[in-house]
A and B are shown apart, each in its own frame.
Chain A
Amino acid sequence: MELTPDDVKRVAELARIELTEDETRAFVKDLNDILRYVNRLQQVDTEGVEPAYHVVPLENVMREDCVTPSLPVDEALDGTTGRSGDYFKVPRILDVD
Chain B
Amino acid sequence: MDVIDRPLYELARLLESGEVSAEELAVEFLSRIDKVDGIVGAFVTVDREGTLSGARMADKARRAGEAPSHLAGIPIAVKDNMCTRGIETTCSSKMLRGFVPPYDAHVVERVKAAGMLVIGKTNLDEFAMGSSTENSALRVTRNPWNLQRVPGGSSGGSAAAVAASEAPAALGSDTGGSVRVPASYCGIVGMKPTYGLVSRYGVVAYASSLDQVGPLAANVRDCAIMLRVIAGHDPRDSMSIDAEIPDYEAQLGRDIAGKVIGLPKEYFAEGIEPGVRDAVLEAAKQLSKLGVEVEEVSLPTVEYALAAYYIIASSEASSNLARFDGVRYGHRAEGAVDSVSMFMKTRAEGFGPEVKRRIMMGTYSLSAGYYDAYYKKASQVRSTLKSDFDRVFERCDALLTPTAPTTAFPIGERIDDPMSMYMSDVCTVTANLAGIPGISLPCGWQDGLPIGMQLLGKRFSEATLLQLAYAYEQAAGYPSRKAPVTKDRGCCSCH
Contact = CB atoms under 8 A, between A and B. Distances in A.
Interface in B324-356: 325, 327-330, 332, 336-345, 347-348, 351, 353, 356
B335 to A, nearest CB: 9
B386 interface: yes
21 contacts: A11-B367, A15-B347, A15-B359, A15-B363, A18-B348, A19-B356, A26-B353, A30-B357, A34-B418, A37-B310, A41-B307, A41-B381, A44-B384, A49-B380, A49-B384, A51-B376, A58-B239, A76-B102, A79-B329, A88-B327, A92-B339
A82 B329 CA distance: 9
A66 interface: no
Contacts of B382: 51-52, 55
A31 B422 CA distance: 13
Interface of B: 99-100, 102-103, 195-196, 209, 235, 238-239, 241, 301, 303-304, 306-308, 310-311, 318, 322, 325, 327-330, 332, 336-345, 347-348, 351, 353, 356-357, 359-361, 363-364, 367, 373-374, 376-384, 386, 418-419, 422, 433-435
Interface of A: 3, 7-8, 11-12, 14-19, 23, 26-27, 30-31, 33-34, 37-44, 46, 49-56, 58, 61, 63, 71, 75-76, 78-82, 88, 90-93, 95
Nearest to A55: B435
Nearest to B316: A53
A11 B304 contact: no
A55 B430 CA distance: 12
Contacts of B351: 17
Highest count of chain A CB atoms <10 Å: which of B325, B347, B361: B361
Contacts of A91: 336-339, 341-342
Contacts of A49: 380, 383-384
B377 A53 contact: no
Given A23-B356, A27-B360, A38-B378, 12 more contacts: A15-B363, A16-B325, A17-B351, A17-B356, A23-B353, A30-B357, A44-B304, A52-B379, A55-B434, A71-B102, A79-B328, A82-B327
B328 A46 contact: no
A17 B333 CA distance: 12
A76 B325 CA distance: 16
Contacts of A41: 304, 307-308, 311, 374, 377-378, 381
Nearest to B379: A51
Given A30-B357, A30-B418, A54 B239 contact: yes
Given A31-B364, A52-B382, A80 B377 contact: no
Contacts of B367: 11, 14
B339 A33 contact: no
Highest count of chain A CB atoms <10 Å: which of B103, B322, B332: B332
Nearest to A12: B360
A55 B307 contact: no
A80 B340 CA distance: 17
Contacts of A93: 338-340
A79 B301 CA distance: 45
Nearest to A3: B364
Contact of A11 (B311, B322, B363, B373): B363
Highest count of chain B CB atoms <10 Å: which of A33, A43, A55, A76: A55
B307 A80 contact: no
A11 B384 CA distance: 30
A31 B361 contact: yes
Contacts of B373: 42
B359 A82 contact: no
A5 to B, nearest CB: 13
The 7 closest A-B pairs by CB, nearest first: A79-B329, A55-B435, A51-B379, A46-B380, A52-B383, A18-B344, A75-B102
Highest count of chain B CB atoms <10 Å: which of A8, A38, A90: A38
A75 B303 CA distance: 47
B106 to A, nearest CB: 15
Given A31-B360, A31-B361, A78-B102, A44 B342 contact: no
A52 B435 CA distance: 11
A80 B329 CA distance: 5
Contacts of A34: 310, 357, 361, 418-419, 422
A65 B353 CA distance: 42
Contacts of B378: 38, 41
A25 B427 CA distance: 31
A11 B102 contact: no
A61 B380 contact: no
A9 B327 CA distance: 24
Given A46-B381, A91-B342, A8 B332 contact: no
B307 A38 contact: yes
Contact of A80 (B235, B311, B328, B379): B328
Highest count of chain B CB atoms <10 Å: which of A7, A34, A52, A58: A52
Contacts of B329: 79-80
B361 to A, nearest CB: 6
Contacts of A3: 364
Nearest to A20: B348
Nearest to B236: A63
A92 B238 CA distance: 35
